[in-house]
């Protein structure tokens, strides 16, 4: 069994040195707060150097030697290692990229707010083989569709035959164009991808595809981005190429997921930290069977209504930059200046920001009941103020609230259909799913897909062939 010495770069730029039998697993432990006291206080951390040694004795000696290096020398060690990796690009890679469920902070990411998503163990699997020619051939197995497009002229959004790209292909093609625009190498490749993330269900299947393809091209191209920048490039593809005026949350979660943790993410400062989910509970997803299409739905309208609220509020409060900066008292004082629909949208965002802070405080105290109640409150706000729910998701929440063991439930994702997220006591998961499924079927005729899930790791390469 191999032994490895490793360097982690911490959030503040410092380095942590250790040894392990499994560097990638050890990185996850450090990011979950279980690795060392130092890294727990300086998360997130990133693995920047790995050195294999023959045995434990050698590992301990090499660990001491690396610890004795200066910060500058450690930085040089990491840089040389990164360069060596870049000079050895794989010819074939397999990438896993997760969907996400947003627990709280819905529709506040494009208002500079705090969000609380978790990557989940439903993912896109991308298998790619590098090609010499500048074309991308993609077989979407689940859709039983294929597309071939050239890496030149991507702005035209056409395939090699001059036909418009199908909607699903806009996501990988958009990522390729954005990466090229930032000076990054994008290789031609032959790709097959499958997905266990339901499409149009509010679990960010599009972000999983975008981030997964970005990680794929990162591996094939031999370059390296920090995961916030990679998420921003994926978001840019969705906004500018696919036409969905989304915030950063979905791509962030897909890129930065931490197993067993939700992610408290400040969309203004881009600071984040993993937060342990409540003990003795499970997340259960219920798919209403009502599909949405964010690019053609009211999603962009809601974004514009929030911007309108900010412009009106600025007349009285010039320091305001986004709805995140507005207090409930300021909003109420300006109520008469706002159109009714704009006021209601702003009220949801302003109160949701407060709910996220309150919910994290509950989790710090392991108060799963208090946390669950916040989920119910958020659903009511999304239904009545933001008006992005629908009868089917309202019914799922109504039924769930009456089932023993359910601590909280709400619609999740962009809205207008899709899924609900439920916080359920672990021992009650199976009877909860059976009861929710049966009553929903009886009242709607829809056989809903309902499944438990776990918080999972962000997008990563699981296999590469050089």
Respond yes or no: is residue 250 known to be catalytic: yes
Q: Which residues contact 411 (CB under 8 A, 6 or more apart)?
A: 106, 202, 379, 382, 383, 388, 389, 393, 394, 397, 418, 419, 420
The residue assigned the tokens 């859709």 is 143
SS (H, E, C) 335-395: HHHCCHHHHHHHHHHHHHHHHHHHHHHHHHCCCHHHHHHHHHHHHHHHHHCCCCCCHHHHH
Distance between CA atoms of residues 214 and 172, nearest Å: 8
Angle at 189 between CA 178 and CA 129, to 5 degrees: 130
The active-site residue, picked from 109, 112, 159, 250, is 250
Q: Give the phi and the psi of residue 276 in degrees, each rounded to 5.
A: -65, 135
Residue 246, CA distances (Å) to 204, 298, 393 in order? 11, 12, 21
Q: Which two tokens stand for residue 366?
A: 């392991």
Q: Which two tokens stand for residue 143?
A: 């859709």
Supply the DSSP symbol for 387: -
Strand order through the sheet with 3-9: 15-20, 3-9, 46-53
Residues composing the chain: 466
Of 58, 57, 80, whose CA–CA distance to 7 is shortest?
Answer: 80
The helix, strand and coil proportions of the chain, stated in percent and rounded to the nearest 5, come to 45, 25, 30
| Cβ neighbours, 10 Å, residue 451 | 17
Of 222, 218, 178, 193, whose CA–CA distance to 88 is shortest?
Answer: 222
> With 0-12 CB in 10 A as exposed, 13-18 as middle and 19+ as buried, what is 311?
exposed
Q: Which residues contact 278 (CB under 8 A, 6 or more apart)?
A: 363, 366, 367, 368, 371, 423
Are the C-beta atoms of 459 and 96 separated by less than 8 Å?
yes
By annotation, the residues acting in catalysis are 250
């Amino acid at each position: 069994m191999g032994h490895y010495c490793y360097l982690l770069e911490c959030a503040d730029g410092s380095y942590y040195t250790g040894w392990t039998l499994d560097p990638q697993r050890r990185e996850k432990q450090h990011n979950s707060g279980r690795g060392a006291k130092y890294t727990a206080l300086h998360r997130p951390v990133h693995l920047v150097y790995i050195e294999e040694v023959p045995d434990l004795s050698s590992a301990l000696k090499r660990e001491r030697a690396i610890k004795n290096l200066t910060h500058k020398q450690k930085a040089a060690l990491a840089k040389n290692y990164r360069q060596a990796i870049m000079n050895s690009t794989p010819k074939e890679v397999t990438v896993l990229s997760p969907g996400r469920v947003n627990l709280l902070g819905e529709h506040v990411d494009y208002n500079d707010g705090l969000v609380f998503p978790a990557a989940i163990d439903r993912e896109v699997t991308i298998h790619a083989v590098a090609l010499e020619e500048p074309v991308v051939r993609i077989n979407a197995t689940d859709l039983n569709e294929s597309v071939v497009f050239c890496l030149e002229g991507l702005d035209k959004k056409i395939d090699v035959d001059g036909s418009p790209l199908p909607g699903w292909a806009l996501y990988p093609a958009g990522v390729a164009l954005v990466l090229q625009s930032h000076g990054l190498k994008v290789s031609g490749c032959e790709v097959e991808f499958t997905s266990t993330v339901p499409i149009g269900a509010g679990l960010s299947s599009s972000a999983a595809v975008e981030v997964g393809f970005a990680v794929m091209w990162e591996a094939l191209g031999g370059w390296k981005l920090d995961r916030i920048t990679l998420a921003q490039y994926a978001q840019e593809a969705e906004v500018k190429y696919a036409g969905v005026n989304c915030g950063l949350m979905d791509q962030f979660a897909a890129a930065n997921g931490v197993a067993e943790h939700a992610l408290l993410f400040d969309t203004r400062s881009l600071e984040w930290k993993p937060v342990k989910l409540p003990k003795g509970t499970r997340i259960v997803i219920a798919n209403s069977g009502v599909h949405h299409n964010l690019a053609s739905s009211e999603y962009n309208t809601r974004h514009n209504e929030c911007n309108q609220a900010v412009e009106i509020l600025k007349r009285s409060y010039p320091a305001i930059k986004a709805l995140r900066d507005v207090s409930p008292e300021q909003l109420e004082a300006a109520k008469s200046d706002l159109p009714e629909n704009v006021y209601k949208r702003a009220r949801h965002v302003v109160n949701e920001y407060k709910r996220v802070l309150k919910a994290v405080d509950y989790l710090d105290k392991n108060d799963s009941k208090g946390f669950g109640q916040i989920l119910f409150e958020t659903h009511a706000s999304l239904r009545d103020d933001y008006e992005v729910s629908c009868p089917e998701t309202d019914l799922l929440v109504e039924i769930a609230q009456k089932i023993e063991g359910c601590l909280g439930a709400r619609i999740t994702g962009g809205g207008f259909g899709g899924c609900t997220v439920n916080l359920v006591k672990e021992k009650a998961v199976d009877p909860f799913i059976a009861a929710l499924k049966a009553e929903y079927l009886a009242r709607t005729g829809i056989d809903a897909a309902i499944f438990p899930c776990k918080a999972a790791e962000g997008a990563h390469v699981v296999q590469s062939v050089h």
